[in-house]
Amino acid sequence: MAFATAAWLLAGVAIDQAVTLDRARFAVPDAPRVITDRHGAVLQVVRTGTVDQRWISLGAISPNLVSALLAAEDQRFFSHHGWDLRATARAAWDTLAPWRRRSGASTLTQQVIKLTHGRPHGLWSKPLEVLYALALERVASKDDILVQYVNRVPFGHNVVGVARACEVFLGKDPGAVTLAEAALLAGLPQSPARLDPALHLGRALERRDRILRRMLDAGFIDERALAEALAETPRWATEVHPQGAERYVDALLRTRPGTDARTTEGSLDGALQREATTLLRATVARWRPRGATNGAAIVLSSRTGEVLAYVGAADPAGPGGALDLLRAPRQPGSTLKPFVYTLLFARGATPTTVLADVRVPLRGARGETAEARDYDGLERGPVSARQALGSSLNLAALDAATQVGAEAIVDELRGLGINVPGDARRYGPSVVLGGLDVTPLALAEAYLTLSRQGSHVPISWTARRDEPVGHPAMNGVAAAMTWDILSDEETRAHGFGRSLRDLAPQAPFALKTGTSSRWRDAWCAVADRRFTVLVWLGDPAGAPMAGVSGFEAAAPTAVRLLSLARETLPGWRAWNPPGIRDTSADAPVRGETLDARYAAWIERAHPAHLALTPARAGSPVRVLDPRPGRTLLLGSAGGAIPLRASQCAETEALRFLVDGVALESPSWFAPPGPHAIVACCGKRCSASVGVTVERR
């Protein structure tokens, strides 16, 4: 049948001009979008269809690879006219002689026809394929046909064409492959799955060696080149489509979806990205026995806002590994405290301002009562703002938040790009302790603004060559005070036992950690004038960890990541702030006499060196809690609201009047609506304080 078919083909050569080629099938496909790092290394090729393909000219391909493909598929390519009668006869003889190895008879031209037109089914499929090949040879040059082949031949794993095959499997440019690599690659098209070197290295090497000997027989190489190629150890990618920067590429494409540019230079530094991924994976592995099943991290340029490293999920195969955890809302713990202190400083306070680190009852949005505590369960009484922020004291932070007001805090956070749903009264002063959900990406951008002394620049996903102009988003002097406290190694060590400077000894840095309720999230933000780093660790499903805190787990990783950024990008330019107010000469906290806020604490702690200021007859009486204009939200079951006022003299009794009616105790069971509260010491009474009560 083979010889009969050959005879029929010879008779049909005369009608090859009657075959109509679809020229559109040979058109160069739309170029894929190539995303590179800032140094030009390919991070990902965004496919235009279902295959990973990039068109390349013949001159950009190594001669070794072209020769290997010819030796493997069609040694007589330049001497036939689309159909090789000798190869057809040999294939027929191999088929009739079962003791011989079977061989194919398709020329490269015929394979191009199959790749562009498909192969028709039926008895006459082969003759039709040959007729199309003969027609193609009449209208296209050999180089044109070869270009079509090298760009359309499949290599497995949806990789098509030699350009992407070299980049994906060998990690090399198509013009730089060695002879042995070229032969190994040229063997794949025969059977990409069966000859995959990552799975079947022995078969792949056997096929490679056979192609190398064909190259010798065809005169493409000499004996010395053959011996060297046979001795070369193959290098082959085991992870065909690396996912290390996938979340970053997704984020970049969201910001630049419709660009006409086929190559986009990203802001990412490939070396730092690899280091960050390795470091975070090791961190998650270390803390996994205590419930940290995944993590995320980002490194930003403090000067330009460029994303230099972006680890959306440390463990892609672990819980939440398919998500971008940098965009997943989480409870931020104490990481919001610096922004509250910045507001406090903007209103005239300084790092020497005394705050009350004492327990006070809190009322939630549903009327529930809770009592915050410091991380060690202690109360410190009067503390400076420097000590309070540097040691991350919860009770002092609540005092600062109460003085600033929840509405101002929520407005500040929204201005920094943090999404805060609902009204400020939904959160109250407890927002300073992390009473809302924040995405790590938004929190990183807020810390970027803080590191720039309140000057905001948006995050940039592409490499920048210009100098971005920031706009003021925070009070610059106040932000400088906060930055100075977070950079104070002595205060940090006093609060946490160590400063972590040994992990990044090159220069000082600012640091703030956070741990959410029930140990669900461990955070750390660390920054200097060149880099801003944020790290999150936890369980994406929200399961609590076994006592994993931000300072214990996230902080060492964040500081090491800052050190890696300094080592990887030693010449990176710093952001130079304007003059910073000197806050180094803070006065010590003295305060031998205290106001009524400390009364309950003094009764509990009995500090020998401190005393409550005794009230004098004629001194003004003040309602301390609730504050004027507040809306008190109670649950449907109601509940008592505690009232507080300044201390009365020993000879005077304290009483409260609500709407003109005296209460029997300082606990007020409030009905809904507006109310007026007055505190009296004997015959002396305070100004009326107006509040509103609502039930939910």
The predicted structure's pLDDT at residue 421:
87
Q: Is residue 260 part of a domain?
A: no
Q: How far apart are CA 606 and CA 611, in angstroms?
A: 9
Are residues 182 and 95 part of one domain? yes
Do 25 and 164 fall into the same domain?
Answer: yes
Alpha-carbon distance 521 to 537, whole Å? 6
Q: What pLDDT score was predicted for residue 290?
A: 96
CA–CA separation, 423 and 216 (whole Å): 79
The answer to whether residues 266 and 462 touch, using CB atoms and an 8 Å cutoff, is yes
**Is the pLDDT reported for residue 210 higher than 90?**
yes
Instruction: Tell which of 573, 596, 622 closes a domain.
Output: 573
Question: Mean per-residue pLDDT for 399-411?
Answer: 91
| pLDDT score at 31 | 73
pLDDT band for position 559 (50/70/90)? Answer: very high
Residue 358 neighbours by CB under 8 Å, 6+ apart: 379, 381, 395, 399, 597, 598, 600, 601
* Same-domain check for residues 553 and 566: yes
Residue 529 and residue 653 in one domain:
no
Nearest to 524 by CA among 566, 494, 496, 555: 555
The terminus-to-terminus CA distance of the chain in angstroms comes to 89
Helices then strands, each counted (H, E), the chain: 21, 29
Which among 535, 563, 561, 560 has a CA at the least distance from the CA of 549? 535
Reply yes or no on whether the pLDDT at 463 is more than 60. yes
Judged against a pLDDT cut of 60, whether residue 43 lies above it is answered with yes
Residue 471: pLDDT above 60?
yes
Average pLDDT, integer, range 406-412: 92
HSE-CB for 352 with a 13 A CA cutoff: 10
How far apart, in whole angstroms, are the C-alpha atoms of residue 498 and residue 491? 9
Confidence of residue 520 (pLDDT cuts 50, 70, 90): very high
Give the C-alpha separation, 685 to 657, whole Å. 10
Clarify whether residues 417 and 432 are in a common domain.
yes
What percentage of residues in the chain have a pLDDT greater than 90?
Answer: 50
Number of structural domains found in the chain: 4
Write out the E strands in 167-285: 263-265
Mean pLDDT of 390-418: 93
Specify which residues 383 forms β-bridges with.
355
Q: Which of 128-132, 467-471, 545-549 has the lowest mean pLDDT?
A: 128-132
Same-domain pairing of 567 and 593: no
Higher-pLDDT residue of 120 and 268 is: 268
**Structure token pair of residue 309:** 């490293």
The β-bridge relationship of strands 531-538 and 471-472 is: unpaired
Same structural domain, 454 and 519: yes
Min mean pLDDT across 124-138, 240-254, 577-591 is at: 577-591
pLDDT of residue 611: 56
The overall pTM is greater than 0.95: no
Provide the domain limits for residue 507: 268-328+437-573
Query: Looking at the domain assignment, is residue 199 inside a domain?
Result: yes
**Which CATH number fits the domain that encloses residue 380?**
3.40.710.10
Do residues 204 and 195 touch, judged by C-beta distance below 8 A? Answer: yes
For residue 65, what are its two tokens? 């690879």
Residue 456 and residue 355 share a domain? no
Q: What is the three-class DSSP state of 579? A: coil
| Burial category of 693 from C-beta neighbours within 10 Å (exposed 0-12, middle 13-18, buried 19 and up) | buried
309: nearest Cα among 37, 36, 507, 557? 37
Whether residue 245 is contained in a domain is answered as: no
- CB 183 within 8 Å of CB 68: yes
For the segment 67-94, the average pLDDT, to the nearest whole number, is: 75
Q: Each residue of 476-517: pLDDT tens digit? A: 999 999 999 999 999 999 889 899 999 999 899 999 999 998
Q: Kindly state whether residue 387 falls inside one of the protein's structural domains.
A: yes
Q: What's the CATH code of the domain at 6?
A: 1.10.3810.10
pLDDT score of 455: 95
Q: Is the pLDDT of residue 592 over 70?
A: no
Give CA 214 to chain center in angstroms.
49
Q: Do 557 and 431 belong together in one domain? A: no
pLDDT at 153: 94
Please state which of the ranges 287-296, 332-341, 461-470, 528-537 shows the lowest mean pLDDT: 461-470
The pLDDT value recorded for residue 577 is 83
Residue 392 pLDDT > 60: yes
Indicate whether 257 belongs to any domain: no
Q: 3-state DSSP call for residue 113?
A: helix
Per-residue pLDDT averaged across 612-637, rounded? 71
Q: Can you give the C-alpha Rg of the chain in angstroms?
A: 37
Lowest mean pLDDT among 245-259, 302-316, 634-648: 634-648
Say which range, 71-80, 99-108, 227-236, 264-273, has the weakest mean pLDDT.
99-108
Q: Which of 204, 231, 258 is the last residue of a domain?
A: 231
Give the pLDDT band of residue 234 (cuts 50, 70, 90): confident
Q: Are residues 222 and 91 in the same domain?
A: yes
Residues 149 and 21 reside in one and the same domain:
yes
Position 252 in a domain? no
CA-nearest of 408, 422, 360, 420 to 696 is 422
pLDDT digits 0-9 by tens, 643-669: 888 778 777 888 898 988 888 888 888
Q: Which pairing describes strands 369-371 and 361-363: parallel, antiparallel, or unpaired?
A: antiparallel
* pLDDT 10s digits, 256-278: 765 556 788 999 999 999 999 99
Q: Which of 171-175, 348-352, 413-417, 527-531 has the lowest mean pLDDT?
A: 171-175
Together in a domain, 126 and 155:
yes
Residue 352 inside a domain? The answer is: yes
Q: Is residue 303 part of a domain?
A: yes
Q: What pLDDT score was predicted for residue 622?
A: 83
Tokens 């590191």, located at residue: 451
Over the chain, what is the mean pLDDT?
A: 85
pLDDT band at 584 (very low <50, low <70, confident <90, very high): very low
pLDDT digits (tens, 9 = 90+) for 418-431: 999 888 777 878 78
Q: What is the mean pLDDT of residues 3-13?
A: 53
Burial class (CB in 10 A: 0-12, 13-18, 19+), 438: buried
So what's the pLDDT on residue 579? 64
48: pLDDT confidence band, cut at 50, 70 and 90?
low
Domain C-terminal end among 184, 204, 231: 231
Three-state DSSP state, 197: coil
Where residue 661 sits, what CATH number does that domain have?
A: 2.60.40.10
Residue 588's pLDDT is 47
CB 298 within 8 A of CB 444: yes
